[in-house]
Amino acid sequence: MDLFLRGVSFGDSGSPMFIYDAIKQKWLINGVLQTGNPFSGAGNGFQLIRKNWFYDNVFVEDLPITFLEPRSNGHYSFTSNNNGTGTVTQTNEKSEYASI
């Protein structure tokens, strides 16, 4: 079984795209899904936003936005309301990840 399924489906827009930084040995969010081809895994478009570009080109003309840069990785819990909405809360839990 392929652990890294590449297909997307309707409603996946806004889902994160992760990249692994082998030097820092951690996963980073590199973009969010903008468009996709359901279940094919090909032609999926991701919106990438670089922090410096955002501050220099968007932030100066838009509402105040702050990038959160935590000193360590946090653990978050997402609770769905089963209607397209939900809540994200930070927890004190620790996660262990198996390397692949």
| Whether residue 15 lies in the annotated active site | no
Distance CA 5, CA 1 (A): 9
| Residue given tokens 């590449």 in the structure block | 6
13, 72, 95, 99: the active-site residue: 13
CA of 36: how far to CAs of 16, 26, 46, 50, 66, in Å? Answer: 13, 26, 9, 21, 29
Contact 40, 58 (CB under 8 A): no
Give catalytic residues, as residue numbers: 13
